[in-house]
Structure formats: structure tokens, C-alpha cells
Amino acid sequence: MSEKYQEGDRVSYKPVGGPDSNTSISTGIILSVLKQDTEMDGRTMHASENHVRYEIENVNTGKAAAVFEENIIEVVGDDEVVKGRP
């Protein structure tokens, strides 16, 4: 399964609760594409080739989270690939 997004993409996403939740929308930069279980902040983030997660750094807080693909709403900005923080 190929990923819909790639490292460096600036995206809007729902950090918790799924895409249809009432959770506010965040913006961040994809740091990495996770296709296997990974440790983050002392916790195991489950991911696989068929259920990809993305490590996203929030542009406002600088904190990283592992987000499922279905929680990413869209690529934002001017389609420019951004590396690092804006």
C-alpha cells in the first residue's frame, strides 16, 4: 500500500477522535512515515504497511504525534514541500 502523504508535507489533521470528531483541527509537518510499530515518548505506536501512521510535528506547539492517515484532512499551504518548522 502506498502512502497518500510524504515527509515534509504540511497538513491539517485531527490529532484525536477520528476525522469526523468535534476535535479542533491542527496543522503540522510530517516528519516521518511509520509502517511498523515505533516507540514515541515511552509508548508503542502501532503501525503497519496496511495501516500507516505519520509522525507529525504541530506547527504551534512543536510537539510530535503519531497520526493515522484517515485523521489527516489535507495538504495545506501552496503545495510546497516544507522541511522543518515553518
pLDDT tens, residue by residue, 15-61 = 888 888 888 899 999 999 999 888 888 888 888 989 999 999 999 99
Q: What is the predicted pLDDT for the residue at 85?
A: 39
Q: How far apart are CA 10 and CA 46, in angstroms?
A: 23
* 3-class secondary-structure state, position 22: coil
Q: Which of 1, 4, 65, 3 is nearest to 29 (CA)?
A: 65
Specify the pLDDT at position 66: 94
- Is residue 55 classed exposed, middle or buried when 0-12, 13-18 and 19+ CB atoms within 10 A define those classes? buried
pLDDT(4) > 70: yes
